[in-house]
């Protein structure tokens, strides 16, 4: 492009010089009208020079026009290439931005899904811990109830045996005849037989023990 510009400038200078020479030569006859007539050889030389310089000017003008067209084509192709490159870069940037946006949306959805899973897992763990705690409390309460009932039964049994023993001694001391079934300590059911008879005689206390 720089070379073409230099050639065009040179051609323009040659054309300007040729035009100036043509103007000068055309003004010769007017000047010679007041001077002596030139020889035929001089006139022929002037015509030859004028024609040659006109030829040079026309050739320079054609070269200049060709260079201008070439420069226009080169600039046009460069502009086209630049436009195509810019368009390609714009399309690539748009695709990249679309991919980035899609990736961000996908990552946000995955993040929300993971948070929901973690929250659900945490809720399940809390529910499981609550169920385990309730089971432990119920289990402990059951053991405590069973131990309390066992202690009450043992205390009632000791109390009833003590009452049976005292009752048997009371009958012995009073000199009354006591049925061997009720007083024979060798009989394993002597206390229980008396206890059944004694508890049947005290239904209110039996009812309280049953309620406990």
First and final C-alpha spacing in the chain: 116
- pLDDT at res. 209: 47
Across the chain, what does the average pLDDT equal? Answer: 70
Q: Tell me: the pLDDT tens digits for 55-89?
A: 888 888 888 887 777 777 777 777 778 888 888 88
Sequence spans of domains, the chain: 2-96, 154-211
Q: How far apart are CA 199 and CA 206, in angstroms?
A: 6
**Residue 139: is its pLDDT beyond 70?**
no
Tokens representing 166? 């005292």
Q: How far apart are CA 149 and CA 192, in angstroms?
A: 19
Query: What count of other Cβ atoms lies within 10 Å of the Cβ of residue 202?
Result: 10
**Residue 21: is its pLDDT beyond 70?**
no
Query: What count of other Cβ atoms lies within 10 Å of the Cβ of residue 183?
Result: 19
Q: Are 172 and 162 in contact (CB under 8 A)?
A: no
Residue with tokens 């006591």: 178
Q: Are 28 and 73 in contact (CB under 8 A)?
A: no
Q: Tell me: the pLDDT tens digits for 146-187?
A: 777 788 888 888 887 887 777 776 666 655 544 544 445 555
Query: What count of other Cβ atoms lies within 10 Å of the Cβ of residue 190?
Result: 19
Q: Which long-range contacts (CB under 8 A, 24 or more apart) does 69-75 make?
A: 70/4, 71/1, 71/4, 71/5, 71/8, 74/1
Confidence grade of residue 198 (pLDDT, cut at 50, 70, 90): low
- pLDDT at res. 148: 75
Q: Are 194 and 164 in contact (CB under 8 A)?
A: yes
Q: Are 181 and 187 in contact (CB under 8 A)?
A: yes
How many residues appear in the chain? 212
Query: What count of other Cβ atoms lies within 10 Å of the Cβ of residue 171?
Result: 15
Maximum separation of any 2 CA atoms in the chain, in Å? 203
Tokens representing 111? 């993040």
- pLDDT at res. 31: 44
């Amino acid at each position: 492009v720089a070379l073409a510009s230099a050639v065009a400038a040179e051609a323009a200078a040659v054309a300007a010089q040729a035009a100036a020479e043509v103007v000068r030569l055309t003004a010769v006859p007017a000047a010679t009208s007041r001077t002596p007539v030139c020889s035929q050889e001089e006139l022929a030389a002037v015509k030859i020079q004028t024609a040659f310089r006109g030829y040079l000017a026309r050739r320079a003008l054609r070269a200049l026009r060709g260079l201008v067209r070439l420069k226009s084509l080169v600039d046009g192709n460069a502009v086209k290439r630049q436009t195509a490159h810019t368009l390609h870069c714009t399309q690539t940037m748009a695709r990249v931005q679309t991919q980035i946006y899609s990736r961000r949306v996908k990552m946000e959805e995955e993040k929300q899904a993971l948070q929901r899973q973690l929250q659900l897992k945490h809720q399940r763990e809390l529910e499981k811990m609550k169920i385990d705690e309730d089971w432990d409390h119920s289990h402990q309460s059951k053991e405590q109830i069973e131990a309390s009932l066992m202690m009450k039964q043992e205390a009632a049994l000791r109390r009833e045996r003590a009452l049976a023993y005292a009752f048997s001694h009371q009958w012995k001391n009073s000199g009354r005849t006591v049925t061997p079934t009720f007083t024979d300590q060798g009989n394993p059911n002597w206390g229980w037989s008396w206890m059944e008879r004694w508890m049947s005689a005290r239904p209110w206390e039996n009812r309280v023990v049953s309620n406990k």
